[in-house]
């Protein structure tokens, strides 16, 4: 399996594709999976002796982190800039909340690596880093089953913050306000504010990852009608 940044992909485009390596050897394309949300196309080639890339520690990427960017011809050192919120409210809780800008200017589709040669992701069409975290998360299932891990969570809402004091003891300072609890029946209600998952407080920039990586049942702490309520969520994966 390989991955490229190709947000304009459609199945019709495959009829004109030819997979060649640097030596001009052609490889058959056996399967493709398109991740439209991130604009990444996963391609399964028939062959062997391909170079295998590793992934970095995803906690190491913040404002100011240095990376290497290539247009597949020249490598240039760049650094990660400001964190930019990319979702539109309300949004599904599993949507990527923010991305890091790349500085100075780069081109869409450029590959991003660490100094040690680990695969970080691609430059997206807005000049921001589209990390390969999702590819890393999906890799084992992709290799074993040729498909993505899916779950049934489709809750929508947006992040809220409390400004000033509250007369109610324990009122949270922030959380994810549910505007639509989704199609699957759970104890979650419209108006609930999610404040913790498995007793760990939530962070806007990482909540989507936290929800996606929960592969079993989990506890959801919400603020409802002036008090904390713990809900047991049964996650359905396929």
Residue 136 has, within 13 A of its CA and on its CB side, a CA count of 16
86-103 mean pLDDT: 93
Run of H or E residues at 202: none
Q: How do residues 202-217 score in pLDDT, each as one tens digit?
A: 999 999 999 998 867 8
Domains of the chain, residue spans? 2-46, 58-145, 156-233
Q: How do residues 57-77 score in pLDDT, each as one tens digit?
A: 999 999 999 999 999 889 999
CATH architecture of 58-145: Beta Barrel (2.40)
Of 2.30.42.10, 2.60.290.11, 1.10.620.20, 3.40.30.10, which CATH number belongs to 156-233? Answer: 2.30.42.10
Taking the C-alpha atoms of residue 233 and residue 164, their distance in angstroms, rounded to an integer, is 32
pTM recorded for the entire structure: 0.86
Task: Please count the other Cβ atoms lying within 10 Å of the Cβ belonging to residue 182.
Answer: 15
134-159 mean pLDDT: 91
pLDDT at position 222:
95
Residue 191 predicted with pLDDT over 90: yes
- 153-175 exposure pattern, b = at least 16 Cβ within 10 A, e = fewer: bebbbebeeeeeeeeeeeebeeb
Q: Token pair for residue 187?
A: 């104890």
24-53 mean pLDDT: 92
4-29 mean pLDDT: 90
pLDDT at position 22:
82
């Amino acid at each position: 399996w390989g991955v490229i940044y190709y947000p304009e992909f459609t199945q019709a485009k495959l009829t004109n594709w030819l997979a060649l390596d640097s030596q001009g050897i052609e490889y058959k394309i056996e399967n493709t999976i398109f991740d439209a949300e991130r604009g990444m196309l996963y391609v399964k080639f028939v062959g062997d002796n391909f170079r295998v890339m590793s992934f970095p520690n995803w906690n190491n990427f913040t404002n100011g982190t240095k990376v290497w960017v290539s247009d597949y011809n020249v490598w240039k050192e760049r650094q990660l800039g400001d964190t930019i919120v990319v979702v539109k409210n309300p949004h599904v809780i599993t949507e990527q909340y923010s991305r890091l800008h790349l500085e100075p200017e780069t081109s869409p589709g450029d590959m991003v690596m660490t100094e040690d040669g680990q695969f970080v992701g691609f430059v997206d069409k807005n000049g921001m880093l589209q990390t390969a975290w999702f590819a890393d998360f999906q890799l084992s299932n992709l290799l074993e089953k040729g498909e993505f891990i899916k779950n049934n969570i489709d809750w929508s809402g947006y992040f809220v913050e409390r400004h000033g004091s509250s007369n109610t003891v324990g009122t949270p300072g922030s959380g994810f306000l549910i505007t639509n609890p989704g199609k699957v029946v759970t104890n979650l209600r419209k108006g609930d504010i999610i404040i913790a998952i498995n007793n760990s407080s939530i962070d806007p920039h990482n909540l989507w990852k936290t929800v996606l990586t929960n592969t079993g049942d989990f506890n959801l702490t919400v603020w409802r009608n002036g008090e904390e309520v713990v809900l047991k969520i049964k996650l359905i994966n396929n």
